[in-house]
Chains A and B, each alone.
Chain A
Amino acid sequence: MSVAYAIETDKLRKVFGDYAAVKGLTLQVQQGEVFGFLGPNGAGKTTSIKMLLGLITPTSGSSSLLGKPVRDRDVMSRIGFLPEHFRFQEWLTAGEFLLLHGQLLKMTSHDLKSRIDELLGRVGLSDYRNKQLRTFSKGMLQRIGLAQALLNRPALVFLDEPTSGLDPVGRRLVRDVIHEVRAQGTCVFLNSHLLSEIEVTCNRVAFIRHGEVIKVLDLATLYADQTSVTIRVSNLAAESLTGLSQWGKDIQMDGERISMIIPSDAVLPEITRYLVAQRGEVYAITPNHMSLEDIFIETVGKDGGL
């Protein structure tokens, strides 16, 4: 079981009428990783998630979750899901809502009770336990939805745009929660437009266009790759500058600003030590990574794949 992928799909395809919403999705997501699912609007992201969850029947192709077929009841009890544009039973109170979903997950009533207390506290809604969901703001609904997705301590959780409608505090909360569940070994499948969120949260990302994976990127290696760095330093002798060449190339100095190309972030501490040893006054060392947004636009194209 532990060797199985959290998600594995092979040429998953969905055609609505004569329009292929998902052309052929082939993907492997490992257990325990936070996987970002990126793509322009209409790229088939939500349709893909719905196929993985058994909400939509694929036209062709195959997929498995946690090593078992989609819709397997054992698997479904180990999965969490926060849909996009969700609406919940708004006539239920927050507590009743979580109780309902926990019962459907076949959780024991004792476990469920303590879990509801814990999660309501975690998403900051303990004081609203007895309020009906129809009185909730969009952000509060998003929070209770997140709590719902995590009730069963899932091995795999799908979050479809979990930060839409949230203020910065709420977004931070979602980010922190994702880090927490990942530390507990949960695999998170995250669909989001907020690339800055993805950047700080995910291990790997897949870029989707027309329902096909066009690129999978390991964010750890993204930062390990060659990058440029800008250093603000004063009081540095000109001969000290040449010493920097042992860590990089294309060294240029413009007043207090030095720019150079380095093979990876790993050399930055050594450069810092060197500059200090040369009695330079260091104000800032800024690596200029290509942002995920740059890569996104480069990958899917400026037209957004339309």
Chain B
Amino acid sequence: MKAIWIIAKLTLREAIRRRILLAGFALGISFLIIYSIGLHFILVEVRQAFTLRDLPAGQNIMNVESQNAFLMAGLYATTFLSIAMAALLGADTLAGEINSGTIQTIVTKPIRRADVVLGKWLGFAGLLGLYILLMAGGVILSMFIQAHYTPGNLLNGVGLIYLEALVIMTLTLMCSASFPALATGGIVFGLYGLAFIGGWIEQIGAVIQNPTAVKIGIITSLIIPSESLWRRAAYEMQTPLAGVLGVSPFGASSVPSALMIVYAVLYLCVALYSAIRIFQKRDL
């Protein structure tokens, strides 16, 4: 247990020393600034538009709808950035250290190889948690300050975004145990792209009521459950009306079931277990 903790701290320290954390957070904060400024002007415009029409009953609903939509757009960007962060952190870690030989003096210490994988996983999980807290927290806070609006099921939604990032990170770690860094990055982004397209096919399929298209979407979600986790997160936080209105990248019209969340957690556990097994068996 102690070895896992040592490796986790080492992973965090590496991210700080190699300025990965600084780069991620600096870009994250600039994103939040741009988002907040944009949101300010949009909110002003929206308020004017709905006030001019003088629809006292509808005004409030339309305000909430537009605020929710902009919030979801911000969270969608956050999710994408977190996934990029997860893949970038994980791609080089085992592969790079195996390639350079850095790993040799680590695994010949009285520790288990599993400790190395678990320690790295824990370190990255901590980093991603911080990152998502900053980014999602920033988007939500910006909306709250400017429009006094918070969506429902906030914790569930942000939790699902975190789970999505963890799934991608674990998958990256697993690939990194067997493939070089560049190949790992290619595989993970490729799979993410697959899930993204699959998610769209499913959403369109749901709108035009084509069961085959929905099925294709579900299958890609089983291959990599990242996009379905986002859609579940969006479903948790969006207004009921948004779901009915139709297809948008920032929302969900075909909602993944709660079973998909269970599947994603299992998927993560299997990927982590596989990462450990691959690393244990590998010649270093």
User: Are both chains from one complex?
Assistant: yes
A interface, CB within 8 angstroms of B? 50, 53-57, 73-74, 76-77, 79, 81, 83, 85-89, 91-92, 100-101, 103-106, 132, 145, 148
Q: Report the Cα distance A103→B8, complex, angstroms.
A: 13
Closest to B111 in A: A104
Q: Which of B233-256 contact A (CB under 8 A)?
A: none
Q: A57 to B282, alpha carbons, bound, how many Å?
A: 8
Q: What's the Cα separation between A100 and B116 when bound, in Å?
A: 13
Known A55-B284, A104-B3: A86·B101 in contact at CB below 8 Å? yes
Instruction: Evaluate whether A87 and B102 lie within 8 angstroms (CB atoms) in the complex, with A79-B108, A81-B108 already known.
Output: yes
- Once the chains are docked, how many angstroms separate the CA of A58 from the CA of B239? 60
List B contacts of A103 (CB < 8 A): 6
> Which of B10-18, B206-214, B224-232 lies on the face that meets chain A?
B10-18
B105 touches A76 (CB 8 A): no
Q: A56, B284: Cβ atoms under 8 Å?
A: yes
The bracket for how many chain B residues form the interface is 20 to 34
A83 and B110 form a contact (CB under 8 A): no
Question: In the assembled complex, which residues on chain B have CB atoms less than 8 Å from the CB atom of A57?
Answer: 281, 283
Pairs across A and B, CB under 8 Å, 10 listed? A54-B107, A55-B108, A81-B105, A86-B104, A87-B102, A91-B17, A91-B18, A101-B105, A101-B109, A145-B105
- Residues of A within 8 Å of B112, CB to CB, are 73
Residue in B10, B18, B104 whose CB lies within 8 Å of A100: B10
Question: Is chain B's binding surface mostly helix, strand, loop or mixed?
Answer: helix
Is the Cβ of B14 less than 8 Å from the Cβ of A81?
A: no
Residues of chain B contacted by A77 (CB below 8 angstroms) = 109-110
Bound CA span A49–B108, Å: 12
Q: CB distance A73 to B17 under 8 Å?
A: no
Contacts of B281 in A (CB 8 A): 57
**Is the pair B110, A56 in contact by a Cβ cutoff of 8 Å?**
no
Query: What separation, in Å, do the CA atoms of A53 and B108 have in the docked complex?
Result: 6
CA distance A105 to B110 in the complex (A): 6
Dominant SS among interface residues on chain A? loop
Instruction: Give B contacts to A, CB under 8 Å.
Output: 2-3, 6, 10, 13-14, 17-18, 100-102, 104-112, 281, 283-284
- Beta-carbon contact of A56 and B109 below 8 Å: no
B110 x A100 contact (CB < 8 A)? no
A85 touches B284 (CB 8 A): no
A95 CB, nearest partner CB in chain B, Å: 13
17 additional contacts, CB 8 Å, given A73-B110, A91-B13?
A53-B104, A57-B283, A76-B109, A76-B111, A85-B101, A86-B101, A86-B102, A86-B105, A89-B14, A91-B14, A91-B17, A101-B105, A104-B106, A104-B111, A106-B110, A132-B17, A145-B105
B105 touches A55 (CB 8 A): no
Q: Is the CB of B108 within 8 A of A76?
A: yes
Residues of B within 8 A of A83 (CB): 101, 104-105
Q: What is the CA–CA distance of A104 and B112 in the complex, to the nearest angstrom?
A: 11
Q: Which 8 A-B pairs have the closest CB atoms?
A: A91-B17, A104-B109, A77-B110, A87-B100, A76-B110, A73-B110, A56-B283, A55-B284
A58 to B3, alpha carbons, bound, how many Å?
26
Q: Within 8 Å CB of A104, what residues of B? A: 3, 6, 106, 109-111
User: With A and B bound together, what is the CA distance between A81 and B17 in angstroms?
Assistant: 26
- Give A99's nearest chain B residue, CB to CB: B6
- Chain A residues positioned under 8 Å from B101 (CB to CB): 83, 85-87
Q: Which residues of B contact A105 (CB under 8 A)?
A: 109-110
Query: Chain B CB within 10 Å — which of A55, A81, A85, A92 has the most?
Result: A55
| Distance to closest chain B CB from A288 (angstroms) | 42
